[in-house]
């Protein structure tokens, strides 16, 4: 063996510097199946951004990449999927979210990797993050909480985050117009499967264990986790799943409706079905606008026909296409696919309620009036149930802004999983209240992300960056790390966290004082459901 050959592996696994940035032509190089990539080292963490995992052509399945020569620089984030342009923001809520909208390109299939070591043959747990934004918006770089460095440093896990096709680019059903478009209905989900296949094939070189992969996501990302648990093509590509405020996917769009949307789009653009290929050349802006009109027309037609419309309205998302998603989530064949996958599932106390400013400074009389409109003669019982569930409730708005959507759906998903599988289920409820901006953000949608990623420092606008936030983040992030490592989230500093069953309702309450409670809000939810 020559001296040069002997030096390369030794350098590749050398201890990374513990602080600052280290970057250069011979630093942080990893061989993937399609070529070498070069990242950089920040505070001891090897970081790779914008690595392509597949190639996207409009409405086509993701295609394998052609190998490249030399070393591909992968030190900055790749493009994000085109979405509706942001032309205005709500200043009070943009402040805590602090979005990074990135730059767009339809060929957006890239991922990011954080790891403590490379090329060292150590099998670290792998955590693949699927971003929020429903199935229409968002990206892997959208929020500062998504950065994987801190989680990697804390838990010696390999964190991967993924960009994929969204909205009309990822979920337009053109399958009625030829075999080439057979997979168009769920192209965006096929991207995620391709990303997981990339992880399977390449993550060992980044220090990860390809046989110990956890997929986790929040909001739309949680919905994507649910979809992958129901996708035969994803089976074997991950071993654990975490759904955070994302249990809203209870059914997939019927293929017949999806095909009607495709037909309405062609009609809107005055394109004959025989000329469907011309959709490839239309600008995204024109395509996107026509797609919205098509969705609206089909929704109105369904209403006129007396047929059900989804609660949030007809939109882009997973389709029961018979190929990528052959079963509805409640079907036995679907639950069989993921029966051996441990699940961690939960939501936040307030979710979207804090976004409504009209309830912020109400009086108790106003609160009672609002609750009577919602619960009628059960309003007083609801108020009592809130006080029982949350004994520290003082402000009138605390009675009106409790999430009653995501929480019951989380329970529904947990119950289905327990009843149909052998793997454990763990339930949580995040109730910690942010002190920022006079406490208006409460435990809103996305508040928990900074804690799960151990990113309080990056998310001070959201959390305040106080001692209590750091203390809770230390516990939560360790629970997520432990679950990724073993399928069990029990961690130091937390009460014993038993497996969830519909009977015990075991729920870990994440707050300044964490507590394990059985069916903590059962009475409240039963009243809310008008039982």
Residues tagged active-site: 219, 351, 445
- The CA radius of gyration of the chain, in Å to the nearest whole number, is 24
Contact 329, 249 (CB under 8 A): yes
Cβ-based burial of 465 (10 A; exposed 0-12, middle 13-18, buried ≥19): middle
- State the residue for tokens 């106390």: 349
What is the SS3 assignment for 268-328?
Answer: HCCCCHHHHHHHHHCCHHHHHHHHHHHHHHHHHHHHHCCCCCCCCCCCCCCEECCCCCCCC
Contact 315, 168 (CB under 8 A): no
> 430 - beta bridge partners?
348, 510
Contact 517, 507 (CB under 8 A): yes
Residue 465, phi-psi category: left (phi > 0), alpha (psi -120 to 50), beta (remainder)? left
Q: Closest Cα to residue 120, out of 12, 3, 6?
A: 12
Distance CA 354, CA 131 (A): 21
Q: State both tokens at 214.
A: 């956890």
Backbone angles phi, psi at 218, to 5 degrees: -120, 145
Contact 130, 238 (CB under 8 A): no
Look up residue 204 and give its DSSP letter: G
Burial 477-506 (b: 16+ CB within 10 A, else e): bbbbbbbbbebbbbbeebeebeebbeeebb
> 518 - beta bridge partners?
506
- State the residue for tokens 């309702």: 505
> 397 - beta bridge partners?
none
Distance CA 49, CA 126 (A): 16
Contact 177, 276 (CB under 8 A): yes
Look up residue 63 and give its DSSP letter: B
CB neighbour list of residue 193: distance below 8 Å, 6 or more residues apart = 228, 231, 233, 234, 237, 324
Cβ-based burial of 268 (10 A; exposed 0-12, middle 13-18, buried ≥19): middle
Q: Residue 223 is inside which H or E element, if any?
A: helix 220-229
Distance CA 26, CA 69 (A): 16
């Amino acid at each position: 063996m020559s001296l040069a050959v002997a030096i390369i592996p030794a350098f590749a696994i050398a201890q990374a510097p513990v602080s600052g940035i280290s970057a250069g032509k011979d630093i942080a190089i990893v061989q993937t199946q399609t070529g070498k990539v070069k990242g950089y080292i920040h505070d001891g963490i090897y970081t790779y951004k914008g690595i392509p995992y597949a190639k996207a052509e409009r409405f086509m399945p993701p295609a394998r990449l052609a190998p490249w020569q030399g070393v591909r620089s992968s030190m900055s984030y790749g493009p994000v999927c085109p979405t509706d342009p942001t032309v205005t923001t709500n200043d009070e809520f943009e402040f805590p979210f602090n979005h990074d909208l990135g730059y767009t390109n339809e060929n957006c299939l890239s991922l990011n990797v954080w790891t403590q070591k490379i090329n060292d043959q150590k099998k670290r747990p792998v955590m693949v993050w699927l971003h929020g934004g429903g199935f229409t918006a968002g990206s892997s770089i959208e929020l500062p909480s998504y950065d994987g460095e801190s989680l990697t440093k804390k838990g010696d896990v390999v964190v991967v985050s993924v960009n994929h096709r969204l909205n009309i680019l990822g979920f337009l059903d053109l399958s009625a117009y030829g075999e080439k478009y057979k997979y168009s209905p769920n192209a965006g989900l096929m991207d995620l499967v391709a990303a997981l296949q990339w992880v399977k094939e390449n993550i060992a070189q980044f220090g990860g264990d390809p046989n110990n992969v956890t997929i986790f996501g929040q909001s739309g990302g949680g919905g994507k986790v649910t979809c992958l648990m129901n996708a035969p093509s994803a089976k074997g590509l991950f071993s654990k799943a975490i759904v955070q405020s994302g249990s809203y996917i209870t059914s997939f769009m019927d293929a017949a409706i999806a095909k009607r949307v495709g037909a309405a789009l062609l009609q809107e653009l005055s394109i004959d079905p025989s000329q469907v290929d011309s959709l490839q050349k239309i600008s995204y802006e024109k395509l996107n606008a026509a797609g919205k009109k098509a969705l609206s027309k089909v929704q109105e037609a369904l209403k006129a026909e007396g047929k059900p419309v989804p609660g949030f309205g007809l939109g882009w998302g997973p389709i029961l296409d018979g190929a990528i998603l052959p079963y509805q989530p409640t079907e036995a064949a679907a639950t069989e696919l993921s029966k051996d996958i441990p699940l961690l599932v939960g939501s936040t106390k307030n979710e979207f309620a804090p976004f409504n400013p009209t309830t912020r400074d109400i009086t108790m009389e106003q609160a009672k009036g609002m609750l009577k409109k919602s619960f009628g003669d059960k309003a007083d019982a609801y108020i009592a149930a809130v006080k029982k569930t949350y004994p520290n409730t003082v402000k009138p708005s605390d009675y009106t802004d409790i999430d009653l959507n995501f929480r019951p759906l989380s329970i529904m998903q947990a119950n289905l999983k327990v009843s149909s599988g052998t793997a454990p289920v763990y339930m949580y409820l995040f109730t910690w209240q942010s002190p920022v901006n006079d406490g208006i953000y409460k435990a809103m949608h996305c508040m928990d992300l900074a804690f799960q990623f151990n990113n309080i420092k990056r998310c001070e606008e959201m959390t305040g960056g106080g001692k209590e936030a750091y203390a809770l983040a230390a516990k939560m992030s360790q629970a997520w790390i432990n679950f990724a490592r073993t399928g069990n989230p029990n961690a130091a500093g937390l009460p014993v966290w038993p497996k969830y069953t519909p009977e015990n309702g075991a729920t870990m309450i994440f707050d300044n004082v964490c507590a394990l409670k059985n069916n903590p809000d059962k009475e409240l939810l039963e009243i809310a459901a008008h039982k």
